[in-house]
């Protein structure tokens, strides 16, 4: 299922429009060939946010009457795509995240059979992100 954040009906600015185009069916294969990724990376996300701030184009207004309706529909799409969603009490803020393969026991079993090549620890906004690269 396509990432709901890459749907044109949820676009808030030029950054979202560009991301929707780059990851569309028409040209998405070329983007995947060049970057090796099907989803926007951290740098792409920063570019998307910057362009949205500089050039706000509320494409979503074509599809929705108000921001509250937009967030309700987006939260439904995110939940269907496997994201965990928290909508604020005021109805104007949405937090979502997707957790993939976070079973530590499964990861330990897999890593026992592989050779550790490198480890990287990154602290970001109070979170510790640990990346380990293994050779099979």
Structure tokens at 7: 């749907």
Inform me whether the pLDDT recorded for 125 exceeds 50: yes
84-96 pLDDT, tens per residue? 887 777 666 667 6
Inform me whether the pLDDT recorded for 101 exceeds 70: no
Within 13 Å, how many C-alpha atoms sit on residue 15's CB side? 17
Q: How confident is the model at residue 26 (pLDDT cuts 50, 70, 90)?
A: confident
Helices (H), 23-103: 28-35, 42-54, 67-80
Instruction: Determine the average pLDDT of the residues in 8-14.
Output: 90
d(CA 86, CA 84): 7
* pLDDT value at residue 123: 74
What mean pLDDT value characterizes the chain? 79
From its phi and psi, is residue 36 left (phi > 0), alpha (psi between -120 and 50) or beta? left
C-alpha 85 chain-centroid distance:
13
126 versus 17: which is more confidently predicted?
17
Residues above pLDDT 90, as percent of the chain: 11
Q: How confident is the model at residue 72 (pLDDT cuts 50, 70, 90)?
A: confident
* pLDDT value at residue 113: 65
| The model's pTM | 0.63
């Amino acid at each position: 299922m396509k990432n709901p954040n890459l749907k044109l009906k949820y676009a808030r600015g030029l950054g979202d429009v560009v991301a929707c185009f780059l990851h569309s069916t028409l040209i998405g294969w070329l983007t995947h060939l060049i970057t090796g990724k099907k989803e926007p990376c951290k740098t792409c996300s920063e570019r998307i946010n910057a362009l949205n701030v500089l050039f706000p184009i509320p494409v979503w207004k074509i599809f929705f009457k108000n921001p509250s309706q937009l967030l309700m529909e987006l939260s439904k799409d995110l939940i269907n795509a496997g994201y965990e969603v928290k909508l604020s009490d005021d109805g104007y803020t949405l937090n979502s995240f997707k957790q993939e393969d976070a079973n530590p026991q499964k990861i330990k079993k897999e890593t026992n059979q592989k050779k550790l090549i490198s480890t990287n620890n990154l602290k970001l906004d109070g979170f510790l992100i640990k990346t380990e690269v293994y050779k099979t």
